[in-house]
Amino acid sequence: MPATTGCAADGELTMWERSGGNKDMVDMLVAAWNAKNPRCAVKLTYIPHTEMVGKIAQGIASGQVPDLMGMDLIYAPQFEKAGQLVDLTDRVGAWPELATASKGHITVATYDQRLYGVPLYADVSALFYNKDLFKRAGLDPAKPPTSLPELRAYADKITALGGDVKGYYLPGNCAGCNIFTVGPLMWASGAKIEAAGPGDEPLVGDGVKQVLQFERDMVAAGNVHDGDRTENGETFHLQFGSGKVGMMGTGNFNITLARQQNPGMDFGIALLPGMTAGSSASFIGGDLVVVPKGSKRVNDAVNFMKFLLSDEVQVEVYAKALNLTTRSDMVDNRYFKAEPLVQDVAKALLVGRTPYTLTFFEQINSPQGPWLKMLQRAYYTGDDLDTVIADAKKEMSAIAAKS
């Protein structure tokens, strides 16, 4: 049956989504669907983000699955390869809306030329900086840092203000937060991080060691709060709005959150820099909507996707909430025109990338994985960095070899 933006059948739809993502945006999208479609309202359940991959796999194996779900886009390839998601190609592949849908999302939603999902929301990482603290530290609020050495110098000046203010923020116990915000510093410095598959070498380029040294020095200089070391991602999105952090890598979702938390705070957004002036990169992340194998409401799930991609929802839900639209042809809207910060953060899309690997969780996002182990050794120990990188490289290569 052709997709609509309404109910295909009556009865509540169940949806899972991860915590630690853009909860406000997902809540608004579901509320908009439910207001339009009370006969097939979505009941949304949040799963702790560190448990999501295991819970989905377990649910698919036992047949206890939701009707649809939001999935961190980075995990999609491994679920697609395992045959655990419904192939939607014949249902949605010809939709004109997909022509302008986020390319990073569509890339990871595609496996073997078959499509398994559409964008739920887009996150891009950028450097947020507190203009009030810049002014107090004698820095020009119109000139954010354009290189990591400059970022270090600015952080030193902001930390020197004292009184629980620190120049920088570093999430010490969150693998995903770091690939989102520290990963781009390495990319901008010419490095490659993950192994795409068997035989592909991870952690290549001087930028890996340069950025690890940069972060180690930031911690040693006292430019981050002591409590940052335990940040596991659950409160990451609340840090910038505290007003106690001079600069931090975070996502576009933080514009609205910071305004809500701290209405009087003046802040700006720049690109995440590399070692040399003018270099920059960004992680294009976010979530897909997918349908797990075993869902009994595939038609309704597809209609929900059609709803998300519709002109009205793109403008009146995403853009109105100052979140990035997931279609590039919807960027030109009245809400973005009135908000320069959204235009600034959207520039990150031009330098952004989305890694594609079947073992992203095991290599990068796992709380016990080699990426976080490497970072924690770099940030908080005196271990030789060449050894730290070599150990992580060996472990990541071994994981990729099994994919």
CB atoms within 10 A of CB 35: 9
CA distance 200 to 198: 6
Average pLDDT, the chain: 94
For residue range 105-164, list pLDDT tens digits in order.
999 999 999 999 999 999 999 999 999 999 999 999 999 999 999 999 999 999 999 999
pLDDT band at 1 (very low <50, low <70, confident <90, very high): low
Instruction: Give 362's strand partners.
Output: none
The confidence score (pLDDT) of residue 21 equals: 75
User: Quick check: 129 and 247 in contact, CB under 8 A?
Assistant: yes
CB atoms within 10 A of CB 257: 18
DSSP string computed for 63-108:
T---SEEEEEGGGHHHHHHTT-B---HHHHTT-GGGGGB-HHHHHH
Helix axes 206-220, 148-159, angle to 10 degrees: 10
CA distance 371 to 186: 13
| Strand residue runs (E) in 108-262 | 110-111, 114-115, 117-130, 166-168, 245-251
CB atoms within 10 A of CB 131: 17
For residue range 206-225, list pLDDT tens digits in order.
999 999 999 999 999 999 99
> Cα dihedral sign for 358, 362, 364, 365?
positive
The predicted model scores a pTM of: 0.84
> Cα dihedral sign for 330, 77, 371, 189?
negative
Helix axes 298-309, 23-36, angle to 10 degrees: 110
**pLDDT of residue 201 exceeding 90:** yes
Q: Which residue has the higher pLDDT, 385 or 52?
A: 385
Quote the tokens at residue 205: 């380029």
pLDDT band at 351 (very low <50, low <70, confident <90, very high): confident
pLDDT band at 61 (very low <50, low <70, confident <90, very high): confident
User: Quick check: 25 and 323 in contact, CB under 8 A?
Assistant: yes
CA distance 334 to 141: 26
Name the residue with tokens 């249902």. Answer: 91
